[in-house]
Amino acid sequence: MSRIFFAFFRVNILFRTVYSFFYLFMVFIFSISLSSCNLFRPYKIPIQQGESFSQNKIKKLQPDMTKDQVLYLLGSPNANSPFDKNKWIYVYTNQHNYLPRSETKLVLTFNDDNKLINIQGDGAPPAALTYRTVR
């Protein structure tokens, strides 16, 4: 009788051990497959570069404004054209988590008297309102 009990006990322990290893193996496989699906992505910090400029600020730009007036209104430009000292370039980029990066550009051109003559770019007013002054 004791042999039968110990044999059953051994089979029971062996079954529990195999079952626990199988259970751990399935948990491991499930966690690996879940992590490889990219369901849970790490947090990415939103990246903003440049000075954000609103449509209201752009609408305040008038022909024949001086560089100082534009500087007061929009702030300093992100870049000056290396080929034309009278061209100011404003660029604003924004990227949230895993979305594509959005970019807004504004290019202001001045004449030799430091007066605003042209506005171009994504944030510029509609084509009918593009300022061009001819002298």
Residues 6+ apart with CB under 8 A from 26: none
Please tell me whether residues 94 and 72 are part of one structural domain: yes
Asked whether 51 and 74 are in contact (CB, 8 A), the reply is yes
- State phi, psi for 101 to the nearest 5 degrees: -75, 135
Q: Give the Cα separation of 91 and 121 in Å (integer).
A: 10
Please tell me whether residues 11 and 58 are part of one structural domain: no
What's the pLDDT score for residue 49? Answer: 82
Q: How many domains does the structure of the chain reveal?
A: 2
Please tell me whether residues 93 and 52 are part of one structural domain: yes
Please tell me whether residues 104 and 68 are part of one structural domain: yes
Is residue 134 assigned to a domain?
A: no
Q: Per DSSP, which regions of 18-86 are E strands?
A: 47-49, 79-80
CATH number at residue 106: 3.30.1450
pLDDT tens-digit profile, the chain (135 residues)? 555 555 555 656 666 776 777 777 888 877 777 665 555 667 778 888 877 777 788 888 888 899 999 999 988 888 888 888 899 998 888 887 777 888 888 889 999 999 999 888 876 554 444 554 444
Is residue 60 assigned to a domain?
A: yes
What's the pLDDT score for residue 115? Answer: 92
Helices and strands, counts by H and E, the chain: 3, 5
Q: Name the residue range of residue 64's domain.
A: 47-129
